[in-house]
Chain A
C-alpha cells in the first residue's frame, strides 16, 4: 500500500510537471501578449517607441528570456542570477535570452510580408538578470504577476476573490445534487417500471444530453427576461450581485450587494449546474441500486422479515453507494471545468470566467495559474478515487 501510494504520488507529480511544461510552451508560442499592441502603435507612427523602450518592456515581462529559463523561473523561482558557490560565480556568461532580436521582413507562403525574428543583436547573460523582480515560483505558492487583467498586480489577489465565488457555486451544487439526486435515484430504482421511474429516466436522459450553455440560456429566458418584460416576479441573471438597487414584483426592493441580492443571483447558475449534475448522478445511483437489489443477500434480508426501509437503506444502499463515492470524488475537478461554461453564461465572476477572459485577453500568467491549479486538483482527485476504491470496497486490491 505504501509503495503503491508513493508510486502514485510520484506519477501524479510527473503528470502535473509535464502538463505544465506542455501548456507553458504552447502559450509562449501563442501570438498576442503584451507586445502585440505596441508593435501596432509603432507601425502606425503615432507614438515613437525606441528599440530601447521595447527591450525594456520585453524585459519587464521576461519575454527576453528563453522559454526554459522563463519556465523554470515561473515554476521554482530560479535562476535569479549566476550560481554562487563559495563566493565564486558560475555560469555568469551563459546566454539566457535575447534583449534585442534581429528582425527581417520575409515573404511567407501566402504571399504576404511578415516580420520574422532571424537572429539576435544583443543577448542577455545570466549575470544580467541579477536583481530583476521574479516570482518565488508557482510550486511555492507565488503565481507571479498578471499581464493585463490586473496589470502588474499579483495573480493571487485576482484568484482569491474569484476562487471563493467558484467555490460558492460548486459547494452548493454538490450539496444540492447529493441531497436531491441520491433519493431520486433510490426511489426510481425501488419503483422500477412505475410511472415515476419512467418519467424520471426520461428526464434524466434528457438532462444528460442537454448542453449546459443552452440550458443556461433557456433558464435566463424563462425566469429572467420573459417575466421581467411581462412585469411578473423574476430572478436576476448575470454577475454575482447587482450594481444598483432594484425592485422585483412580490419580493420588493433589493439593495445591491445585500445577502438577498447575492442569494437571488445564485439561484439560476446553481440550478443549471445542479440539474445537470443530478441527471448524471441519480442515473448512476439508480443503476447501481438496481444491481444491488438483485443480489442474494437482499433476498435473504427480505426473507428474514426485515422491513422494506431497513432492506433498502441498510442493506442495499450502503453497497450501492460504494461505486458512487468514487464517482463523486472524481467529478469534483470536472465541476470546475463545468463551471467554466456556466460562469461564462451568467457572467459569474469566478475562476472559470477568469480563465476564459485570461485566454482571450492574452493574460497568460493568469491562465497558466488557473490551469496549474486545475491540474493539481485533478491529479489529487484521481489519486483519492483510487485509494477510496480500496477503502470502501475491500475486494479491490491495489497493485
Chain B
C-alpha cells in the first residue's frame, strides 16, 4: 500500500520578487533622482500659476495707467483697489500680471514647438529608418542640409520676414482661435505667437528625426519585428505598433530637453527683437525691455530673467532624470 506523497503547493510569492510593470520600474528610478523631483515640483507650481493666470492676475496684461509709471512694489491702484505686487512698468502696466501672462505664453510656445517638432521628427525619422533606400537617402540628405545652415542667423532672417509681413503664411482661423485660447490672446495677437512656433519647430524637428531614425534602424532588425511581419502585419502597423512605442524612451528625453531649449530660444528671439512683440508679454521681450532701465532699477532684469533660467534648468534636470530612469546605460 502506498501512501500518496504530500507535496505542498509552491508559493509563488515566496520565490519571485514583487512583479512591477515597466512603468513602475521607470517611475521608481525617476523618483530617486532628487533634483528632477524638485524640478517637477517647481514646474508644477509654475504651470499652476500660469494656468490660473486670469484668476491670479490683478490686472489685464495690457491695461495701462497713464502717469503710474514705475510704481514701487505693493502699491495700490486707486481706481480698482487692486495691488501692484511688483509695481508697474515704464508705461504703467502691472508688472506681476504681465509676468504670469508672459509665463503662460512662453511655456505654451515651448510646448507647442516641442509637440510639433517631435511629431514631425517621429514621422520623418521612422519612415526614413524603416524603409531605408532612396526614401531614407532623400529625407536624411535634406535634414543634413538644413543642419549645415547656421541656425540662429537663419532664424533671425525668417522671423524678421514673417513678423513684418504677417499675411505671408496663411494660418487657418480655428488654429489662431485655439492657440489664442491657450495663451489668452486674441486671434490677431495669436498669429504672432503661431509664427514663432512655426519658425522654432521648423528647425527643431531635424534633430528629433535623426534621433528617431537611429532608434528605428536598430529596432528594425529585432526578431519581434520579424515575428510581427510573419503574422502578416503591414508596414504601417509595424511602425505604429512596434517602432514608435519602442522608440519613445529617447524621444521623451529629447522632448523634455527640447522644452528647455525652446523656452530659451523663444526668449532669445524676443530679446533680440525678432520674437513675439510687445504689447504681448513674454519673458524674453520683458527682459529685453528692462535693459534701458537697469541702471536705475538694478533688480528689474531679475524679474523676467529668473523664470527663464529656472524653467531651463528644471526642464534640463527633468530630462536628465528621465534619461537615467528610462535608459540607465545612457548615463554619463
A interface vs B, CB < 8 Å?
12, 15, 18-19, 23, 26-27, 29-32, 108-109, 205-206, 208-214, 217-218, 220-221, 225-226, 229, 286-287, 290, 333-334, 336-337, 340-341, 344-345, 355-356, 359-360, 367, 370-371, 374-375, 377-379, 382
Contact = CB atoms under 8 A, between A and B. Distances in A.
A211 B153 contact: no
Contact of A209 (B151, B161, B260): B260
Interface string B255-287: 000001000100110011110000000000001
B150 to A, nearest CB: 4
A217 B305 contact: yes
Interface stretch (B69-77, B78-86, B87-95, B307-315): B307-315
Interface in B121-157: 145, 148-154, 156-157
Interface in B161-194: 161, 164-165, 167-168
Interface residues of B, number: 41
Given A29-B168, A31-B165, A340-B272, A213 B332 contact: no
22 contacts: A12-B148, A15-B149, A26-B158, A26-B161, A27-B157, A27-B161, A29-B165, A209-B260, A211-B264, A211-B308, A211-B309, A211-B312, A213-B267, A217-B287, A287-B332, A334-B150, A337-B151, A341-B152, A341-B272, A345-B291, A355-B156, A374-B150
Given A27-B161, A30-B164, A30-B165, A209 B313 contact: yes
Nearest to A212: B268
B27 interface: no
Contact of A210 (B160, B268, B301, B309): B309
Given A208-B316, A218-B305, A379-B148, 9 more contacts: A15-B149, A30-B160, A211-B268, A213-B271, A214-B287, A218-B301, A344-B271, A355-B153, A359-B157
Contacts of B167: 108-109
Contacts of B273: 356, 360
Given A23-B157, A30-B165, A340 B149 contact: no
Contacts of A374: 150, 153
B154 A371 contact: yes
Contacts of B305: 214, 217-218
A213 B266 CA distance: 12
B4 interface: no
A209 B316 contact: yes
Given A15-B149, A336-B150, A337-B151, A344 B272 contact: yes
Given A214-B309, A341-B272, A226 B316 contact: no
Contacts of B150: 333-334, 336-337, 371, 374-375, 377-378
A221 B287 CA distance: 13
Contact of B152 (A218, A340, A345, A379): A340
Contacts of A336: 150
Given A15-B148, A205-B316, A217-B305, A371 B153 contact: yes
A12 B149 CA distance: 10
Which 7 pairs of residues, A with B, have the shortest CB-CB distance? Answer: A337-B152, A30-B161, A214-B305, A209-B313, A287-B332, A374-B150, A209-B312
Given A290-B332, A341-B271, A356 B156 contact: yes
B160 A360 contact: yes
B267 A359 contact: no
Contacts of B164: 30-32
Contacts of A341: 152, 268, 271-272
Contacts of B320: 205
B308 A214 contact: yes
Given A30-B160, A30-B164, A218-B301, A23 B154 contact: yes
A19 B156 contact: no
A221 B148 contact: no
B158 A375 contact: no
B309 A209 contact: yes
B294 interface: yes
A88 B11 CA distance: 102
Nearest to B307: A214
A109 to B, nearest CB: 8
A30 B153 CA distance: 16
Contacts of A378: 148-150
B159 to A, nearest CB: 9
A303 to B, nearest CB: 26
B232 interface: no
B298 interface: yes
B23 interface: no
A290 B267 CA distance: 35
A19 B298 contact: no
Given A221-B294, A337-B151, A213 B260 contact: no
A221 B301 contact: yes
A212 B272 CA distance: 12
A210 B156 contact: no
Contacts of B268: 211-213, 341
Contact of A359 (B148, B160, B264): B160
Interface in B11-39: none
Contacts of B272: 340-341, 344, 356
A333 B147 CA distance: 12
Contacts of A370: 153
A334 B267 CA distance: 18
Contacts of B149: 15, 19, 375, 378
A124 B244 CA distance: 57
Contacts of A382: 148
A170 to B, nearest CB: 14
A29 B158 CA distance: 11
Which among A213, A290, A360 has the greatest number of chain B C-beta atoms within 10 A? A213
Which among B145, B160, B287, B316 has the greatest number of chain A C-beta atoms within 10 A? B160
A217 B152 contact: no
A314 B309 CA distance: 39
A229 B294 CA distance: 12
Nearest to A344: B272
B294 A220 contact: yes
A19 B332 contact: no
Contacts of B165: 29-31
